[in-house]
Amino acid sequence: MSKQTFHIGGIHPADKKISRDCAIEALPIPPTVYISLSQHIGAPAKPIVAVGDKVKTGQPVAEPGGFVSAWIHSSVSGTVKSIGPRKDLSGKSVPSIEIAVEGDEWIEEVDLSDTLVTEFPEDNKAIMAKITSGGIVGLGGATFPTHVKLSPPPGQKCERLIINGCECEPYLTCNYRYLLERGEQVAVGVAILMQVLGVKDATIAIEDNKPEDIAHMKDVVAKLAAKSDKFRGIEIMPMMTKYPEGGEKQLIDAVMNRQVASGGLPISVGAVVQNVATAYAVYEAVQKNKPLVSNTLTYTGDCVATQHNYEVRVGTPLSFIIECAGGMPQDAAKVISGGPMMGRAVSNLDAATVKGTSGLLFLTAAQTKRAPATACIRCGSCADACPMGLEPFLLKRLALAGDLDGLEQNAMQDCISCGSCQYSCPASIPLLDIMTQGKAKVMGVMKARAAAAKAAAEAKAAATSAK
Ligand code: SF4
Ligand code: SF4
Report the CATH number that the domain containing residue 205 is assigned in CATH.
3.40.50.11540
| 287 within 8 A of 117, measured Cβ to Cβ | yes
Residue 388 shares a structural domain with residue 259: no
Which is nearest to 102 in space by CA: 76, 74, 72?
A: 76
Q: Residue 1 above 60 pLDDT?
A: no
Per the domain annotation, does 81 fall within a domain? no
Q: Are residues 229 and 339 in the same domain?
A: yes
pLDDT in tens, 339-396: 999 999 999 999 999 999 999 999 999 999 989 999 999 999 999 999 999 999 999 9
Measured in residues, the chain has a length of 467
Please give the average per-residue pLDDT across 394-415, as a whole number.
Answer: 96
131 and 244 within one domain: yes
Q: What is the pLDDT of residue 461?
A: 86
What is the per-residue pLDDT across 157-176, written as a single tens digit (0 to 9) for each? Answer: 999 999 999 999 999 999 99
**389: CA distance to ligand 1 center in Å?**
8
Identify whether residues 279 and 349 lie together within a single domain. yes
State whether 156 and 132 are in the same domain: yes
Residue 19 — pLDDT band, cuts 50, 70, 90? very high
> What's the mean per-residue pLDDT of the chain?
95
269 found inside a domain: yes
Pair (314, 396) in one structural domain:
no
* End residue of a domain, out of 316, 347, 369: 369
Pairing of strands 60-63, 46-47: antiparallel
- The number of CA neighbours under 13 Å toward the Cβ of 305 is 8
pTM of the predicted model, to two decimals?
Answer: 0.94
Q: Residue 172: what pLDDT?
A: 98
Last residue of a domain, one of 348, 369, 390: 369
Ligand nearest to the CA of 243: 1
How far does residue 435's CA lie from ligand 2's centre (Å)? 13
Band (14; pLDDT cuts 50, 70, 90): very high
pLDDT the model gives residue 466: 78
Q: Which domain range does residue 434 map to?
A: 381-450
Q: Return the SS3 of 416.
A: coil
Q: Is residue 385 in some structural domain?
A: yes
Same domain, yes or no: 167 and 294? yes
Nearest ligand to the CA of 389 is 1
Rounded CA separation 266/327 (Å) = 42
SS3 content of the chain, % helix, strand, coil (to 5): 35, 20, 45
Question: Of 369, 395, 416, which one is at a domain's C-terminal end?
Answer: 369
Asked if residue 302 and residue 421 are part of one domain, the reply reads no
Q: Domain for residue 15, yes or no?
A: yes
Q: Which of 390, 421, 425, 432 to mutate to test the pocket of ligand 2 (most atoms within 8 A of CB)?
A: 425
Do 403 and 349 share a structural domain? Answer: no
Q: Is residue 267 part of a domain?
A: yes
For residue 236, the CA-to-ligand 1 centroid distance in Å is 28
Are 259 and 358 contained in the same domain? yes
Spatial separation of the C-alpha atoms in residues 72 and 136, rounded to whole Å: 9
- Cα of 10 vs centre of ligand 1, distance in Å, is 10
403, 425: one domain: yes
* Nearest ligand to residue 434 Cα: 1
Number of folded domains that form the chain: 2
Percentage of the chain exceeding pLDDT 70: 100
Tens of pLDDT, residue by residue over 316-355, are 999 999 999 999 999 999 999 999 999 999 999 999 999 9
Nearest CA to ligand 1 atom 5: 386
Q: Assess whether pLDDT exceeds 60 at residue 2.
A: no
What pLDDT is attached to residue 467?
72
Going from the Cα of 364 to the center of ligand 2, the distance in angstroms, rounded, reads 26
Ligand 2 neighbours by CB, cut-off 6 Å? 376-382, 392-393, 424-427, 429
